[in-house]
Structure 1
């Protein structure tokens, strides 16, 4: 399984992902182009939101680390 270094989710095994992918393809096959694009837009929006939350979390953690470091001599 490919893992993104900034990803905090467990994900699926390679085998589980391939099974899910095949099932999804079978499920969306009968959709119209418009329906499929709408579904893809929804998934893309979810991904954007996840990335925004991760970025916000990383920035907050960075701020906390730098505030905790006392650079006074």
Structure 2
């Protein structure tokens, strides 16, 4: 079970990288490039607020899983 947790840690880190890429290049930058005020606000919120929260959260979860912080032996 602990090996599965470490394998899923890699999956979470890869998901964090993909989420950051998708949020920036598929959602935020096209919205900012349109020039409409409502799209500009939405793009800035995605780029500056949501992307770091989501990507760092997934990345930290995967990192701690790789370190073995969620193993039953440590408790």
Query: Normalising by the residue count of structure 1, what TM-score does the alignment of the two structures yield?
Result: 0.43
Query: Normalising by the residue count of structure 2, what TM-score does the alignment of the two structures yield?
Result: 0.42
Q: Larger relative contact order (C-alpha < 8 A, sep ≥ 6)?
A: 2
More helix by percentage? 2
Bigger Rg, structure 1 or 2 = 1
